Amino acid sequence: MSRKYFGTDGIRGRANTSPMTADVAMRLGLAAGRYFTRGPHRHTVVIGKDTRRSGYMIETALTAGFTSVGMDVIQLGPMPTPAVGMLTRSVRADLGVMISASHNPFEDNGIKLFGPDGYKLSDEVEAEIEALMDGTPDLAPPGQIGMARRLDDGRGRYIEFCKASFPRGQTLGGLKIVIDCANGAAYATAPEALWELGAEVIRLGVSPNGENINQGCGSTDPAACRQAVLENGADLGIALDGDADRVQIIDEAGEIVDGDQIMALIATRWAGQGRLAHNTLVTTVMSNLGLERLLEGQRIGLVRTRVGDRYVVEAMRAGGFNLGGEQSGHIVLADYVTTGDGLLAALQVLSVLVAEERPASEVCKLFEPYPQRLRSIRFDRATRPLEDAAVRAAIASGEARLGGSGRLVIRESGTEPVIRVMGEASSPDLLAEVVDEICAAVERVAG
């Protein structure tokens, strides 16, 4: 079903350009407020944001929409996405909202919605809300207009929540940790949580100015974190993205540990402790074949989903699984949170370092990844390259050449106008040929 506003992860776009305008945000507040106003109780929405300049505009417009239909607003200020899900449940709110474009540059912004259970909304619910956005709003009478207030201790609540996920009896005493918060939503919470657990903390990306979020820092550009680890002789580096729902780990030798290795570590650890629900990990089609082979050897099940942490979470909920994530570093620990949480995932890694008294370079590399090649081609959506006969023939030819030694994943991005072509194979040369031939075919019709 074609949708006007919502994409694969809420509403997202360039700030002050449709659909990421104050007008659309206010209409979303009106529509979502109306949708979640059920029953005679006083209704409440929790709103968090990252550190983008446009967050003030979007927050104000949403607040106007929600209060206009009689919903009270609790404003959290800068707060990680997983904290919004957690606090939505904690304060018994009817709805949660996170204003963020995650790892994108500051010019972009987005709006993610959480239901009263703290989980992101389904496609079906988003479609119903979208249908209400262009209708006539059902405004509250003057005496029932909502009120807005700040939750002053939201950061402290989230810090205590994160610390509670770390094993009792363990501390981070004696460990030196670099934390890069991407000048984003976790700049005030993640370093404090690590320090309170006893670590010596080296802080990066903790000086947001509204424009420097994800700029030369964070999980999408971990070079500064890697350099700091090496220069300071740190035991571990933790690089979060702008809304702190994804993480990259850097070991003491400066090697990057991606989401697949993190999931492998947690899954095998939990399986050994009898904690891994149904002895199964949930991940997307993008995760490396090396991870799949490792899990097969450990007799751990693997469920793959389409790309997007929300689809990972949907599969986890449907199957009763408690661990899932993406290669990009979205790690979902369902025993604690309803969405990806970079800090909680890092704390799970740190708990293994503490328990085994081994360096991260040994603990965090459980398998040898298959060679992987990923390319992104920008395109005019009107051209629909993946429906072109020549492109489809190139894909079929590539799959035949790889045979059982590899695989291809080709898809349109849900957040930007690009086609992503990813391949894996035991032969890097063959892989490069196959991926580049498919990309060339896509480029010929991409517009």
Residue 44 tokens, joined: 């409440």
Domain 11-152 CATH (choose: 3.30.365.10, 3.20.20.80, 3.40.120.10, 3.90.930.60): 3.40.120.10
How far apart, in Å, are the Cα atoms of 372 and each of 248, 286, 396, 405, 426?
18, 10, 19, 12, 9
Residue 284 phi, psi (nearest 5):
-100, 175
Tell me which of 54, 68, 100, 102 is the catalytic residue.
102
407-421 pLDDT per residue, tens: 899 988 876 789 999
- Ramachandran angles phi, psi of 406, nearest 5°: -170, -170
Q: Is 102 a catalytic residue?
A: yes
Residue 88's pLDDT is what? 97
* Domain residue ranges of the chain, discontinuous segments joined by +: 11-152, 157-255, 259-363, 372-445
Residue 286 scores a pLDDT above 60: yes
pLDDT in tens, 213-237: 999 999 999 999 999 999 999 999 9
Residues 6+ apart with CB under 8 A from 353: 175, 235, 236, 359, 360, 363
Phi (first) and psi of residue 321, to 5 degrees: -90, 155
Q: What is the pLDDT of residues 369-402, one digit of tens each?
A: 999 899 999 998 888 899 999 999 999 999 999 9
On the question of pLDDT at 267 being above 70, the answer is yes
Q: Is the pLDDT of residue 1 over 70?
A: no
H or E stretch including 309? helix 309-319
For 372-445, CATH number out of 1.20.140.10, 3.30.310.50, 3.40.190.10, 3.90.550.10 equals 3.30.310.50
In this predicted model, what pLDDT tens digit does every residue of 296-322 receive, in sequence order?
999 999 999 998 888 999 999 999 999
* Percentage of residues in the chain having pLDDT higher than 70: 99
Report pLDDT for 77: 96
Residue 264: band (very low, low, confident or very high) from pLDDT cuts 50, 70, 90: very high
With a pLDDT cut of 90, the percent of the chain lying above it is 89
Which residues have a Cβ under 8 Å from the Cβ of 168 and sit 6 or more positions away? none
Query: Is the pLDDT score of 249 beyond 70?
Result: yes
Using the 8-state DSSP alphabet, how is residue 249 labeled? E
Query: What is the model's pTM?
Result: 0.90
Rounded CA separation 312/305 (Å): 6
State the chain's mean pLDDT as an integer: 95
Confidence of residue 2 (pLDDT cuts 50, 70, 90): low
Residues 6+ away with beta carbon under 8 Å from 122: 314
157-255 and 259-363, same CATH topology = yes
- Which top CATH class is 157-255? alpha beta
pLDDT of residue 8: 76
Task: Give dist(CA 99, CA 91) in Å, integer.
Answer: 19
pLDDT digits (tens, 9 = 90+) for 155-172: 999 999 999 999 999 999
Candidate CATH numbers 3.40.120.10, 2.120.10.30, 3.40.50.720, 3.10.20.310; the one for domain 259-363 = 3.40.120.10
Please count the other Cβ atoms lying within 10 Å of the Cβ belonging to residue 104: 22
Question: SS3 for 314?
Answer: helix
Please answer whether residues 386 and 421 qualify as being in contact, where contact means their C-beta atoms are separated by less than 8 angstroms.
no
Burial (CB < 10 A; 0-12, 13-18, 19+), residue 224, is: middle
Residue 250 has what pLDDT?
A: 98
- Give the whole-angstrom CA distance, residue 435 versus residue 417: 19
Q: How many other C-beta atoms are found inside a 10 Å radius of the C-beta of residue 209?
A: 11
The per-residue pLDDT for 21 is 97
Residues 182-219 pLDDT 10s: 999 999 999 999 999 999 999 999 999 999 999 999 99
> What integer pLDDT is reported at residue 406 of this predicted model?
86
pLDDT at residue 176, as a whole number: 98
Residue whose C-alpha is closest to residue 66's, from 40, 35, 88, 92? 35
